[in-house]
Amino acid sequence: MTLLKPFWQVMITITPETWDKNYTCPLCGSQITSKKVFTEKIVVKSYDEDLKPNYEGINPLLYSIVVCNTCYYAALEIDFEKYISPIYLDELKNVLSTVKIPEAIDFGKERDHKTALISYALAALCYRAKKQLCKVAEMYLRMGWLHRDLKDIEAENKALAKALVSFEECYMSTYIEEEKEPMILFYLAELSKRFGKKEEARKWFSTLATKYKNSSSFYVKVGRERWKDLK
């Protein structure tokens, strides 16, 4: 006969989902802390039609942006501590000087969707000030996804419409690294399709499928199927 231990003798181990990482703000020099999600805690359970990942448990998109609580400079974690060219400093400072953030918000602590949305909005401002239009588009895309989680269709559509305009600006006026182009072409097509611009969608899916016909990119694979569906 096996006896069950009293509940107070049962050890329950709860592993944390995030950890704190320290950064130096490249704009104002402040020492800050931002949370990162442990890789093993990231579990994708499904993807939406536009390849938005849906997570089981913690959503790492909430913590992708590092924000300085002092000057509100914000960027993706991989970009945050990168050198800022002096030609962009004045524009960044001017833009961020107008930002008003509620005192209750601390970007270094656990985040909900509201705080994450503010972090992406700040990052979009900063990337635009640095003339990184492709990154601006990515910020609006992710904002649209977060609004979708909240089931705010109107806000989602506004964010995705801004993402499409920014992807168009990015593609037409900036240098694009080859490894990033399939993603950009995919969202030019997918977002055009979403907003009823079928001819534009066909054009972009066609460009993606033909230019990168030998690529193993998931964007190319999915884009090729979408192109066939639109023919």
- How much is the pTM? 0.91
Q: How far is CA 152 from CA 64, 148, 155, 167, in A?
A: 21, 6, 6, 22
145-188 residue pLDDT tens: 999 999 999 999 999 999 999 999 999 998 898 889 999 999 99
**152 and 68 in a common domain:** yes
106-157 residue pLDDT tens: 999 999 999 999 999 999 999 999 999 999 999 999 999 999 999 999 999 9
**140 and 55 in a common domain:** yes
**180 and 79 in a common domain:** no
**136 and 180 in a common domain:** no
**114 and 201 in a common domain:** no
Whether 106 and 60 have beta carbons less than 8 Å apart is answered as no
**185 and 164 in a common domain:** no
Query: How far is it between the farthest Cα atoms of the chain?
Result: 77
Range of the domain at 102: 16-168
The candidate with the shortest Cα–Cα distance to 24, out of 86, 66, 87, is: 66
Give a yes or no: residue 3 inside a domain.
no
Give a yes or no: residue 11 inside a domain.
no
**180 and 226 in a common domain:** yes
